[in-house]
Chains A and B, each alone.
Chain A
Amino acid sequence: EVQLVESGGGLVRPGGSLRLSCAASGFSFSSYSMNWVRQAPGKGLERVSSITIAGTYIFYADSVQGRFTISRDNANNSLYLQMNSLRAEDTAMYYCVRENYYDSSGSLFDYWGQGTLVTVAS
């Protein structure tokens, strides 16, 4: 059974830092691109960052470019998101998501974690 379990969320003051982790199991982690997708309270989904299998291609949304860093440890089946210079608008549920490039017709997000809540407030 595929499982993605996030941790590391919490309350942090503006300007502070947090490191999110995602523990993956039940599949060959090193064979899939991985993503962080967030959802602000009452809002839609925003793809924050993604990383390919070997980490050779990394995507960041404009809203987090220069402040967030995604990384992965294939040996330990783990995904990370280092978040620095946090702002109130970063308050959201953060989901760890597996991205499946099934063929040339695109990709889909076939497994989602339960999410970890990040609250940025003074």
Chain B
Amino acid sequence: QPVLTQPPSVSGAPGQTVTISCTGSSSNIGADYDVHWYQQLPGTAPKLLISSNNNRPSGVPDRFSGSKSGTSASLAITGLQAEDEADYYCQSYDTSLSAVFGTGTKVTVL
């Protein structure tokens, strides 16, 4: 069902920057719909991390940032910390009038 493609995993050492891509198509991200990002810590429910491409809800550290261009979006984590080890999902909307999720990316802190 997911129509947004993410890399299965990315990793980095503490303090480094990692970037997660989210690739869609002209019927979702490319149709000018916003992209949102969710963080799922081990054993917990997903939590909204970035809304509307690059907005951080209250309480989200500023080391998390998002961007969008064309049919893709990216989530960057700068100054990677051990507690950032989690699964990350992108989400957008589709011209089929349905919300769509990404395939998910596991971030490992080395």
Binding site for B on A (CB under 8 A): 35, 44-47, 50, 59, 61-63, 95, 99, 102, 105-110, 112-115
Contacts and interface: CB of A to CB of B under 8 A. Distances in A.
Interface stretch (B15-23, B31-39, B59-67, B78-86): B31-39
B48 A44 contact: no
Contacts of A45: 2, 38, 46, 89, 101, 104
B11 interface: no
B71 interface: no
A44 B33 contact: no
Contacts of A110: 48, 51, 57
B99 A47 contact: yes
A30 to B, nearest CB: 20
The 8 closest A-B pairs by CB, nearest first: A106-B93, A44-B104, A106-B33, A112-B45, A108-B36, A105-B34, A45-B101, A106-B34
A112 B49 CA distance: 12
Nearest to B98: A59
Interface in B1-17: 1-2
A109 B48 contact: yes
A39 to B, nearest CB: 8
B92 to A, nearest CB: 6
Nearest to B93: A106
Nearest to A105: B34
A46 to B, nearest CB: 5
A88 B102 CA distance: 24
Interface in B68-106: 89, 91-93, 98-104
B1 A115 contact: no
Nearest to A46: B1
A108 B50 CA distance: 10
A47 B27 CA distance: 18
27 contacts: A44-B89, A44-B104, A45-B46, A46-B1, A46-B2, A47-B98, A47-B99, A47-B100, A47-B101, A50-B99, A61-B1, A62-B1, A95-B45, A99-B99, A102-B52, A105-B34, A105-B93, A106-B33, A106-B93, A107-B99, A108-B34, A108-B52, A109-B91, A109-B99, A110-B51, A112-B45, A113-B45
